[in-house]
Structure formats: structure tokens, C-alpha cells
Amino acid sequence: MRLSRYFLPVLKETPSEAQIASHRLMLRAGMIRQEAAGIYAWLPLGLRVLKKIEQIVREEMDRAGAVEVLMPTLQLADLWRESGRYDDYGAEMLRITDRHNRELLYGPTNEEMITEIFRASVRSYKDLPKNLYQIQWKFRDEQRPRFGVMRGREFFMKDAYSFDVDEEAGRRSYNRMFTAYLRTFARMGLTAIPMRAETGPIGGDLSHEFIVLAETGESVVFCDERVLDLPIPPDDVDYEGDLTAIVDQWTTLYAATEDVHEPERYEREVEPAHRRETRGIEVGQVFFFGDKYSKPMKAVVSGPDGVERPVQMGSYGVGVSRLLGAIIEASHDEAGIIWPASVAPFGVGILSLRKGDAAVEAACEKAYRALTAAGKEPLWDDTDERPGAKFASMDLIGVPKQLIIGPKGIAAGEVELKDRKSGEKKNVSLEAALAELTAA
RNA sequence: CGGAGUGUGGCUCAGUCUGGUAGAGCACCGCGUUCGGGACGCGGGGGUCGCAGGUUCGAAUCCUGCCACUCCGACCA
């Protein structure tokens, strides 16, 4: 992408409403724009990152055997009356009336609708297990939205729902999602710790929240810090096999949110040297809730014995838009965002230090073509901004590698190659720089 | 939902107490000089001061109502 043709409204000054680093940086980097309390427009840079995160989540869901669907954002109130949640959910649910005076709602979650979809088609245990997921906008009318996309009212979420014939099979589905989540967050450069959690309005008796440790998080958490060093399941983890060992390994060391924290057990099980009491950002939560929805909504299958029974369900959420905030909280410095390569909006920044200089333009053009061909998604700053402004903007938006091409370097047969994270710079020939950047 | 605040150009803010016909910096446009880590000079454009009433010769400023947004707390798959 040539910056001169892009839409990247970076701000030199910090908008006054932003209190935490990720919110400030997302506004300054021109990723989002607030349109109402807790409601944001996604500008091109923010959308690129959102799509990358979405795609990682999708790949890991698919790998774990889940199947993607897309449900509408608006749902009929009658559906929620079946489960009894229409009246229970409260003011957080945005209720809408259409021209025929029908009651609708903007979905805050989709257990009812997915149960309705499932029951319409599935009758036999032979069709199980099934796991359906979607990545779709949700709306929860929070009393107090804050922290930018970390706690918006409208947010982008992956929600998966598992259906099994009995509780034992349901636990296997739960373990598959648990394992997939470990991989998903690790691919984004995050260490997300599964912690025992309350189930809240979703219901059920088995649930873990995946928490990224951060001082600016909203949840207070207690854990054995050795959990931070546990191994992430590999690419070829066998989702058809028994994942109990992985889940046990990750749930044996103490880790709990404040709501379910047991101080006595914590002090008994965790040596003082390993205790970690901090705050965290919830980026995902998994639930197993059995027949909470299938029973009232009559989602039943016939078992091997010919007897109909409610399916055993679980639901599994990942806050896709919230993850942008979490990643930035975990990875930034004074100058701006430091994207992990897997979610970076652009792979390489090309800084043309002198617009109009034929030799500089030619070198930039060559680099741009080579990097584009190699799939490195270069962002070429071909504007006539001053060099200092270009350096500052490129650091702010966090492009991992920067190729700096100016008249002095070209005259000496060199370009500058800079790593955003380490700040290391070196002068090499253009060919050497391109060889390094296009490798791997 | 309790408490505290704020709304003035795209951004950050001054001006409000003490009413007199709207400002600064950044950003933007033109010209020139510049150019290797957020340049400088000169000239220029852009705001019914959140909205609606009221008081007054005159309202960004005072009064009333409403709306939006922010912060602290409670709440929060």
C-alpha cells in the first residue's frame, strides 16, 4: 500500500478521553473513531488488524473441528422467551420494535438462536458431536462503556456452541475448545491463562476465563506464576484424541479470578515465591452448561437406546475486537504500538526520505515490488512529509520492520533496516535488506 | 444506577467568575526557503461557541429545560 493513497489519519496529540495506553494508541494511530459511547467506526488500519485476528481465530476453530455459520444481529424476542432469558437479561439487552410492533433485540449472545437452528435439523446421536461457530457483531448496552474497544457496547465476538449426546462427550467438546483457545491466543503473541470462573447469566457449572495479565485489566486475578511457562499445544495436536492431559496440565496450578478466589487454598497450594496477584484482561471464556437451553427449548436427539434426551451444550466466546486492546496493552512502548508479526497490519514499512529524488524513488519502487511479491504487505510512505514525521508515524502504527531509503544512503549504496521491537538499526545494501526481509 | 465533570474549527485548549459581537498552538491551502528522527517565513480558508427557550439594547458568558460525552464507584457472557 502506498501511504499517499491510503487513509491513515494519525493524531499527533492524544485525545483527552483516552485513559489507557491501548485506547490512546488506537485513536492516535487512526485505527478507530468513536461514533457514540462504546461504539466505534473501524478505520482501514484498525480493520486490517481486526481481520488478521479474526482469521487466526477462524483457523484455530476450523482446526479444532468447529464449523462456521453466520447468524443475524437481530433476533426475535419470542425466541428468548422460550429460554426465559428475555425477562432475565435486563437493561443490557438492546430491545427494538419494528414497524409491525414486533419485539426484536440486538443479540448480546446467541445460545437461543443456535439451539433453534440445531433442533430444526438434528434428531439422532449419530449426528453428534457438532460444533457451530460464528464471528459476528454483538451489542450489550453497558452502563458504563470505557477503555475503547476493550469495553465497548458494540463488539466483534467469536461464539461457538457445542452439541453432544451426553455429559462425557460434552466434556470432550469443552476440552477441544479449551485447547484451541490456548493455541489461538499464543498465535497472537499473548499469554492467556485459563482461570476458574463464575458462569454468570450463561449458566452451567464448568467454566474458565482466559485472562491476559495486564495492570490495566478490569479483573483482579490470583495465580501460580509457573502457569505462564506451560507449553502451548502444537499445530498437530490431535483433536480427535484425548485432550484431558492438556486441560489437566493447564488447570492444576492455581489460577482464579477474584469472584471465585479461595484465599486459604491459594496460600496452601502456592509457595509465596510463586504467588502472582495482579489484574487481567478477559479475552475468552468457555462454558459447559448441559441442558440449560436444550431442555426448555426442546432440542433433543434420540440416543442409541431410542430414547430422546436434551443435547448437552457448551458455549465458547472470544472477544475479537477486545483482543486488539489486549494485544496493544501487552505490546507497546513510548513511541507507539509494537505488533506481533502475526497480526501486524503491514509487514514492512518503506520510508522514502526524499520525495522526488529519482534514485530514492527507484529504490523504493524496487523494494515495494519485491516485498509485495513476497507477500510481506509493505506500507510505502511515499508522501512528502518530513523524515521525522515519517519515523514517528511508522513507529506509532507499529510496523515490525522498517526499510529506510534516503539520498545519503543511496549515494553510499546503503539503506537502513530497522526492527521496531528491538530498535536495532543497521546499514546494508538494498539487495541484502530485501533478501533478509523476504526470507521465511 | 450513585457521585463528579465537560461540551468553543479536524486535534489540544484559552475566553465564561466580571455580558460588548470569537482566539492560540497543531492540522489544512498557496508561495518560498528547507529536508537522515514530528522545520521556518509570509499569506490564506475553516467555528450559527451541544440543542431549545428565557433575561438583556446586546449572550460563548447569566437563568431554565433537554441532549451528548468523560471520569470515579457499583454492575458486567
pLDDT for position A90: 84
Using C1' positions and the CA of A159, the closest nucleotide is: B77
pLDDT for position A49: 97
Low-confidence ranges of chain A (pLDDT < 50): none
pLDDT for position A203: 60
The pLDDT tens digits of the residues spanning A210-267 come to 999 988 888 889 999 999 999 999 999 999 999 999 999 999 999 998 888 889 999 9
CA distance A132 to A239: 16
Calculate the angstrom distance between C1' of B69 and CA of A79.
35
Q: What residue type is A157 in one-letter code?
A: M
* Cβ-based neighbours of A170, under 8 Å, separated by 6 or more: A162, A164, A288, A290, A312, A313, A314
Question: Whole-prediction pTM value?
Answer: 0.96
Q: Is the CB of A418 under 7 A from strand B?
A: yes
pLDDT for position A283: 96
Calculate the angstrom distance between C1' of B18 and CA of A36.
37
User: What ipTM was reported for this prediction?
Assistant: 0.93
pLDDT for position A219: 87
Burial bucket for residue A423 (CB in 10 Å: 0-12, 13-18, 19+):
exposed
Q: Is the CB of A13 under 7 A from strand B?
A: yes
Q: Is the CB of A406 under 7 A from strand B?
A: yes
Calculate the angstrom distance between C1' of B73 and CA of A144.
11
Strand B near-CB residues (< 7 Å), A 175-194: none
Strand B near-CB residues (< 7 Å), A 314-343: 317-319, 335
Strand B near-CB residues (< 7 Å), A 62-121: 92, 108-109
Residue closest to B25, CA→C1'? A13
CB atoms within 10 A of CB A382: 19
Q: Is the CB of A4 under 7 A from strand B?
A: no
For residue A201, is the peptide bond before it cis, meaning its omega torsion is within 30 degrees of 0?
no
pLDDT for position A197: 83
Q: Is the CB of A393 under 7 A from strand B?
A: yes
pLDDT for position A229: 95
Q: Going by DSSP bridges, is the β-strand pair A130-139/A154-164 parallel, antiparallel, or unpaired?
A: antiparallel
CA distance A85 to A112: 9
Strand B nucleotides below 7 A of a protein CB?
1-2, 11-13, 25-27, 34-39, 68-77
Q: Is the CB of A244 under 7 A from strand B?
A: no
